[in-house]
Amino acid sequence: MKRNRRKNRNRKSHNRIGMTLVLTAVFMLFITLAIKSYGLYEKNSDYKETEQKLEEEIKDENDRTEELENLKKYMQTKKYVEEVAKDKLGLVYKDEIIFKSEN
């Protein structure tokens, strides 16, 4: 009987050590998971900010593209050709009168 008691005490002692090691390992895994999770949340918020900035840039570029399309259409009109001819080349219609300042 004494041997059984000793064996039981040794088993209980080994069981406690084993449980302590298992709980320590689980706790360490939990801490590691918490740290990694926090890092992922930080990255996610950075990515959301970057996404928002890129969406704003896309909107700005779409607006610019629309302006360029409107300018392209305007440049194909007769009115634009007349303005360029007057401003850059100094051309006028036959019946136009030009006044020049003395200065």
> If DSSP codes are grouped into helix, strand and coil, which group holds residue 17?
helix
Q: So where are the chain's domains?
A: 2-87
Tens-place pLDDT, residues 44-58: 999 999 999 999 999
Selection from 53, 45, 75 nearest residue 61 by Cα: 53
Please give the torsion angle defined by the CA atoms of residues 35, 38, 43 and 45, in that order, rounded to the nearest 10 degrees.
Answer: -170
Tens-place pLDDT, residues 44-102: 999 999 999 999 999 999 999 999 999 999 999 999 999 998 888 888 888 888 777 88
Q: How far apart are CA 103 and CA 94, in angstroms?
A: 25
pTM of the model: 0.53
